[in-house]
Structure 1
Amino acid sequence: MRHHEGMPLAPDVLDLAESLVPSGGRGLLGIAGLPGSGKSTFAEDLIAALAERHGDGRVGHVPMDGFHLADVQLERLGLRERKGAPETFDVHGYAATLRRLGEDTDQPVYVPGFERTLEEPVAASLVVPPTARLVVSEGNYLLDPDPAWRAARARLDAVWWVEVDEELRHTRLVERHVRFGKSPREARDWVEQVDEANARLIRERSDPPDQVVSAADDGWVLA
């Protein structure tokens, strides 16, 4: 079992996640929130906590970021400067993958990941094993009301929202871009011009979540 240094989860958070697992088959949990809200951190902490309870292989991880369109497609579509907006994802491919994850539990399911040093998706870099009883998938647009995104949400058993302090969220975004190669000035400009435009869209348009989760001093809690 891999060692994971993260924030603890309140027992009722774990219990609620486990309640999504059906008696036969597989449950699918979506984690939504604004850019920089900590969706991936929460997903990783949840997966690690469930591994502590049940061992590795119980939970699969399918980040929505793996369904980014590659830069060559964004350039073809004239969307390079909108990278991260709803229209820059393969939402239909994402929905089809969620459907397969819910139905095909006998074979490994290979899914794309996202390499942040390249800022590009990487095909089949992640796998959900047949032993996985729960799949966690985080992304910005899981609560978007567009019909294509609602079709993806319909494949999930629940979507939770990660809430975070706005100043902390903004700081995280700048630090993330600097960590993966942008200068501090480039990072601040990208956050203001791209990430925050996407955040406003998400904040204004998102459907209600099934549950809200937030980070407290002692770990992740149900809000």
Structure 2
Amino acid sequence: MAGLTLLDDRQEAVTAQDLVSAILARAADTKRLVVAIAGPPGAGKSTVSATLCAAINARDPDAAVVVPMDGFHLDNAILDARDMRKRKGSPPTFDCAGFEVMLRRLREGGEDIVIPLFDRKLDLARAGADIVKADQRILLVEGNYLLLDQAPWNRLEPLFDMTVFLQVDRLELENRLVQRWLGFGYNVGSAQARALSNDMPNADLVLEHSRPADFILKN
């Protein structure tokens, strides 16, 4: 995995394994550690989160679990009724309040908690798709808007114990997002239109209006 930069006065560079060690060290001092992994669309949040989760669990079996924000996408029927389907993935197309409630439940812990997941192939959120077990003490929460400094997303700030931001060159983001839509069967023109009309405005919002993170991952 790419190197990481710790945001402190020394701007100390750390590796992915250093980050895993830092998470495990922090987790040793608390009943449950909630780590935000944020970044723009196409930054690789899902891949990085899964990689970190596997590395943590290799050292502390079944301690970590990934909790995606995308399970709180509004259904397409609601977006159609609000004439917002073309902006799917933008902040207003998520149930931020429901996501906040889930995070508060997860922080409290003490019981298994059922969470939703987003199915990209079906293009919908599936309720009850996964379970965060009571004894899983490291939650890697991943999503675009976790560090957004705008309401209502800024209410999430106190719910995270550590924060990581994935940094990717803007042109590379655009290329990745076009490739994503090509992978879903769009032709080149449609893939470019989809990326430029919706994904990149969302990416620019994240890049320009996210709070500083504890760690920057140049992915």
Q: Structure 1 length as normaliser, TM-score?
A: 0.87
**Comparing 40-49 and 198-207, the one that deviates more:** 198-207
State the AA in 1 paired with 2:202: N
Match of 2:46 in 1: 40
Please tell me whether residue 28 in structure 1 is matched to residue 51 in structure 2: no
In the alignment, is the contact (CA less than 8 A) between 2:63 and 2:138 conserved in 1? yes
Match of 2:12 in 1: none
Measured after TM superposition, the shift of residue 22 of structure 1 is 5.1
In the alignment, is the contact (CA less than 8 A) between 2:32 and 2:109 conserved in 1? no
Match of 2:7 in 1: none
Please tell me whether residue 63 in structure 1 is matched to residue 49 in structure 2: no
Measured after TM superposition, the shift of residue 184 of structure 1 is 2.6
Match of 1:87 in 2: 92
1:1-223 paired onto structure 2 within 5 Å: 10-21=16-27, 23-55=29-61, 57-105=62-110, 107-215=111-219
In the alignment, is the contact (CA less than 8 A) between 2:2 and 2:217 conserved in 1? no
Secondary structure of 1:147 counterpart: coil
Can you list the C-alpha shifts for 1:53-96, whole angstroms capped at 9, x where unaligned?
A: 122x2112110111111111111222111111111100011111
Instruction: Give the Cα–Cα distance (whole angstroms) in 1 for the partners of residues 30 and 207 of structure 2.
Output: 36
In the alignment, structure 1 segments of 5+ residues that lack a partner are: 1-5, 216-223
* Structure 1 pair 22–171 and aligned structure 2 pair: CA distance change class (3 A): same
State the AA in 1 paired with 2:78: Q
* Structure 1 pair 20–90 and aligned structure 2 pair: CA distance change class (3 A): farther
Instruction: Give the Cα–Cα distance (whole angstroms) in 2 for the partners of residues 182 and 73 of structure 1.
Output: 24
In the alignment, is the contact (CA less than 8 A) between 1:144 and 1:207 conserved in 2? yes
Measured after TM superposition, the shift of residue 24 of structure 1 is 4.3
Secondary structure of 1:19 counterpart: helix
Q: Structure 2 length as normaliser, TM-score?
A: 0.88
CA RMSD of aligned residues (A): 1.8
In the alignment, is the contact (CA less than 8 A) between 1:67 and 1:121 conserved in 2? yes
Measured after TM superposition, the shift of residue 180 of structure 1 is 2.4
Instruction: Give the Cα–Cα distance (whole angstroms) in 2 for the partners of residues 201 and 11 of structure 1.
Output: 30
**Comparing 154-163 and 180-189, the one that deviates more:** 180-189
Secondary structure of 1:61 counterpart: strand
Can you list the C-alpha shifts for 1:134-186, whole angstroms capped at 9, x where unaligned?
A: 00111111111123211123211122101123333222211222222323322
- Pairs aligned (count): 208
In the alignment, is the contact (CA less than 8 A) between 1:30 and 1:160 conserved in 2? yes
* Structure 1 pair 127–202 and aligned structure 2 pair: CA distance change class (3 A): same
In the alignment, is the contact (CA less than 8 A) between 1:94 and 1:152 conserved in 2? no
In the alignment, is the contact (CA less than 8 A) between 2:112 and 2:132 conserved in 1? yes
In the alignment, is the contact (CA less than 8 A) between 1:109 and 1:127 conserved in 2? yes
Instruction: Give the Cα–Cα distance (whole angstroms) in 1 for the partners of residues 170 and 149 of structure 2.
Output: 23
Instruction: Give the Cα–Cα distance (whole angstroms) in 1 for the partners of residues 30 and 166 of structure 2.
Output: 28
State the AA in 2 paired with 1:94: F
